[in-house]
Amino acid sequence: MTVNELPDASLPARKRIALVAHDHEKQHLLEWAREHREILSQHQLCATGTTGGLLAEELGLPIERLRSGPLGGDQQIGARIADYGIDMLLFFWDPLEPQPHDPDVRALLRIAVVWNIPVACNRSTADFLVSSPLFSGPYDRQVAPHVSA
């Protein structure tokens, strides 16, 4: 497959955003999401297992819940990224706590980079993303610069 054979990579104004947080980061993501509830309400949200339930309860917004990370949720998000079903990943991960599904975490972060979607791994980066004028507008991204003939 070549880059010319890939579908249109334009990100719509209404983004499809995946929200993920490791156990020690869930509270940070909840606080961040509460602060940015209004802007998040303008987008389509999905999240892994427990994180999705906590966010839906906290925000009162519709959030599609996937499996928990260790049970395949990270891989579900990765597959959606590759199929153009996720436009942005907010993954508050804990780099100091070993995770039983570390290979899945690495694979998810790798696929997000390969498919060139915006990724925030902490609160500061998430703040920069939502404050960007590109967050709520369309954006033409280059897809899979690593894919060649």
Dump strand ranges (E) for the chain: 10-11, 16-21, 44-47, 63-65, 88-92, 119-120, 139-140
Q: Which of 8, 23, 74, 94 is catalytic?
A: 74
Q: What is the token pair recorded at 94?
A: 């804990």
Count CB atoms within 10 A of the CB of residue 98.
7
d(CA 122, CA 124): 6
d(CA 18, CA 80): 10
Q: What is the token pair recorded at 74?
A: 């990270």
Catalytic residue list contains 74: yes
Q: Which residues are catalytic?
A: 74
